Amino acid sequence: MFAKFKDAQKKADEAWASYRPEPFGDIGSVDKLSILPRSEWYTENSDLLGEAGVSYLIQADGKRILFDVGANWKKEDPSPLVRNMKTLGVTADSLDAIVISHPHCDHLGGMAAQRVDTFMFSLTDADLTGITAYVPAPLTHPTATTELTVRPNVIFPGVTTIGVILRALWPFGLTPEQAIAVNVRDEGPVVIIGCGHQGMSRILERTRQLFPGPIYALVGGLHFPVTKSRVKFGMQKWIGTGKLPYQRIKRAEVDAAVAELKAANPSVVGISAHDSCDWSLGRFREAFGDRYREVAVGREITF
């Protein structure tokens, strides 16, 4: 078990060391960007449903991109995601694209989806004909077109994926994850992250390789469940941490990440509660003060 994990770690490090992308160059920018969580741990009000999952509607000028499709832990139909979409008044057919961060059930719409390498909004899925889903692993969908995006990719002017970064996770093995970066005019990239298994340092470094200027904002998950797990049996504390089996993430590591992000000096920071405990969120909130944004279903973050 340890040997296999160490081997995966070595492969992830080799993959990181052997690839350095060219800067994007002139890829355009957007004037208006908003991030509206549809699936998250916390909710803006009691009409909305919270879960330990991620789905964010990203509106970049005229384009609507759905980033991940929630967790649907209880296998409900319609799922919390679909019910939240209805409450928030957005339909699946108004989407221009879907981006999946990584193939874990809390981002694919549940275990039923993960098991068969697909993603689903709900158990009886929406018709996504004509919509392209940019996926970091070979996933398919009954109606959407899927496109594997291992390398950094420009989806729409100013809207990009930063490419897959591999991480060894026990017990899952090598896990590919991608994040979105949206270039906001005169400000720079807003990085939007799923679980953050890539490790924050590598996400920041990759973003700097692609966008040589300062990072404008960072929003999403970083997987810092120190005092509490959002899913049962304390699971997040023990698995998927990037460490050897049963080694937990320490408070000092969260503080080191806070310090590293402070050095990057983004204007806006919002950390997902779906894979981080309240203690960790508090450290970021404290460090960034009025630059910090709460990430909750129905609460729009605008740029």
Binding residues for Zn ion, rule: CB under 5 A, are 104, 106, 195, 275
Closest separation in Å from C-beta 90 to Zn ion: 22
Closest separation in Å from C-beta 172 to Zn ion: 8
Q: Which is nearer to Zn ion, 30 or 105 (CB)?
A: 105
303 vs 295: CA distance, rounded Å: 14
Could you check whether the bond before residue 171 is cis, i.e. omega within 30 degrees of 0?
A: yes
Q: Which is nearer to Zn ion, 104 or 141 (CB)?
A: 104
The residues facing 30 across adjacent strands are 184
Closest separation in Å from C-beta 114 to Zn ion: 10
Q: Which is nearer to Zn ion, 106 or 187 (CB)?
A: 106
50 close to 41: Cβ distance less than 8 angstroms:
yes
Closest separation in Å from C-beta 105 to Zn ion: 8
Q: Which is nearer to Zn ion, 102 or 293 (CB)?
A: 102
Closest separation in Å from C-beta 32 to Zn ion: 27
Name residues whose C-beta falls within 8 Å of residue 152's C-beta, 6 or more positions apart in sequence: 21, 24, 160, 161, 162, 163, 206, 210
Q: Which is nearer to Zn ion, 73 or 279 (CB)?
A: 73
Strands 132-135 and 301-302: unpaired
The residues facing 301 across adjacent strands are 35
Q: Which is nearer to Zn ion, 106 or 125 (CB)?
A: 106
246 vs 2: CA distance, rounded Å: 11
Name residues whose C-beta falls within 8 Å of residue 256's C-beta, 6 or more positions apart in sequence: none
Closest separation in Å from C-beta 55 to Zn ion: 11
Name residues whose C-beta falls within 8 Å of residue 257's C-beta, 6 or more positions apart in sequence: 200, 201, 222, 224
